[in-house]
Amino acid sequence: MHPRTQRQKEILDYITLFIERHGYEPSYAQIARQLRVSSKATIAKHIEALERQGLLSRRRADGGFGLSLPFEEVGVDATCEVPLLGRIAAGAPLDAVDDREMVTIPRFLLGRVRPNRVYALRVAGDSMIDEHICDGDIALIENRTEARDGEIVVALVEGAGTTLKRLFRQGQEIELRPANSQVAPIRLHASQVAVQGIFRGLLRPAL
């Protein structure tokens, strides 16, 4: 099904692109600014129309919404390929290596994330071991530059090395928190940390 009006199409296209880039939904105010509409109530009416058409579905009491379509239904045996772009430190920051090797993974591991937005990194170290992310595992990473507090991220530290940690914002600082009581967290000014991806799954090579 397609939106019934041009304005509905513009709204749906913007929401789709926004979610792909940021990993969460835009607010009514953001949609209104993007489309140069003065009233959020007008946006709300279009959202309701898209919902009636089955193109959007509300999922939170506060008015948040998520795309209900399209969603790629795949069988349990379906696979896809993603590029393996070197190593990521689960420990001290590590220089990434771009090997461009491809790895085959079960498609269901990615959920609603499209395979063309995912890359893989081989884990080095054990600072995330309490999350069952171990040395030698292959981490599946969504290519995204924004993260919510508590998400496991690929972080570029001080423009040099990358590391896999949970991210928490504390005022002007960011804490990259390990999942290992023997490893200290990394605390830096927010300007020294750049998110390069969000952890989405794990592949453990057969021994």
Positions annotated as catalytic residues are: 127, 165
Pairing of strands 193-203, 186-189: unpaired
72/30 Cα distance (integer angstroms): 27
Q: Cα 2–18–64 angle (5° rounding)?
A: 80
Burial of 173: CB neighbours in 10 Å, binned 0-12, 13-18, 19+: middle
Question: Cα-flanking dihedrals φ and ψ of residue 196, to 5°?
Answer: -115, -5
Question: Residue 167 in contact with residue 147, Cβ under 8 Å?
Answer: yes
Question: Residue 112 in contact with residue 71, Cβ under 8 Å?
Answer: yes
Q: Which two tokens stand for residue 204?
A: 């453990």
Residue 75 neighbours by CB distance under 10 Å: 8
Give the DSSP H/E element, type plus range, for residue 31: helix 28-35
68/50 Cα distance (integer angstroms): 10
